[in-house]
Amino acid sequence: MSYATVAGLPRFLSTPALVNLSITVDDWFNSESDEDDDVKKPVTHHRADMVNGLTTFIEQCEPTIHSLRLRELRISLQSLERLLFNLPSVTNLLLSSVTMLSTFFRTTAYASSDDHLRPVLPRLKALRLRHMPDDFPYEDVCNLFAHRAAFHPNHETVKTLMFETFDSEPLERSDLKDAVLKVRKHGVDVHLSPLY
């Protein structure tokens, strides 16, 4: 699917009872807009339209959408925040080969410590991360949900975290092992799976 196709979803589809949504973005269609960088350049017009369209589409389905799968997507920090903060009903999230600024989960953890802010993905039960960039900080994901469980015990907390990589090296880092132990103390089941 191209960014333009995703951007047009609110015009093309009416799905008042959508439960599962899976979007795979085809890089071949989007080669001209995949070169931007959160730090060096602003988000391109194509990608901004895609995020606006996807967010609008999901907001139309918000009370019913429970499962979201995003694959092969390059997205800015601001766009990912906008998208995920507008998904309060999602219980299952898969991010596969999603390129994003690696600090997303760290900054979200700090923001979630403010009682006046709603948490990102408040009903999330399962998060699966597959084929993320080599430098992806999986420990930040564990720390976010450990922080939420410790400081917001009245909020629902994630039950399962699955991290699947092509290379086992990111899963063997000591900071990740420490973060996994910390989140497991809150009853979260964590699976680390190198895919060979």
Provide the token pair at 40: 């060096």
- Position 13 scores a pLDDT of 67
- Position 161 scores a pLDDT of 96
- Position 187 scores a pLDDT of 93
Contacts 24+ apart (CB under 8 A), 15-19: 15/60, 15/61, 16/60, 16/61, 16/64, 17/61, 17/64, 18/61, 18/64, 18/65, 19/64, 19/65, 19/66, 19/67
Beta strands in 5-121, from DSSP E residues, in sequence order: 20-24, 67-71, 92-96
Give the DSSP H/E element, type plus range, for residue 157.
none
| CB-CB neighbours of 91 under 10 Å | 17
How far apart are alpha carbons 82 and 123 in whole angstroms? 17
Provide the token pair at 164: 């699947």
CB 170 within 8 A of CB 141: no
User: Collapsing DSSP states into helix, strand and coil, what is residue 193?
Assistant: strand
Query: So where are the chain's domains?
Result: 102-196
CB 51 within 8 A of CB 85: no
- Position 36 scores a pLDDT of 43
Contacts 24+ apart (CB under 8 A), 43-46: 43/76, 43/78, 43/79, 46/3, 46/4, 46/7
189-194 and 126-130: which strand pairing? unpaired
- Position 176 scores a pLDDT of 92
If the chain, 196 residues long, is cut into consecutive pieces of 10 residues, what is the mean pLDDT of each piece?
A: 61 73 66 43 56 72 81 82 82 91 69 60 93 88 88 80 87 90 94 81
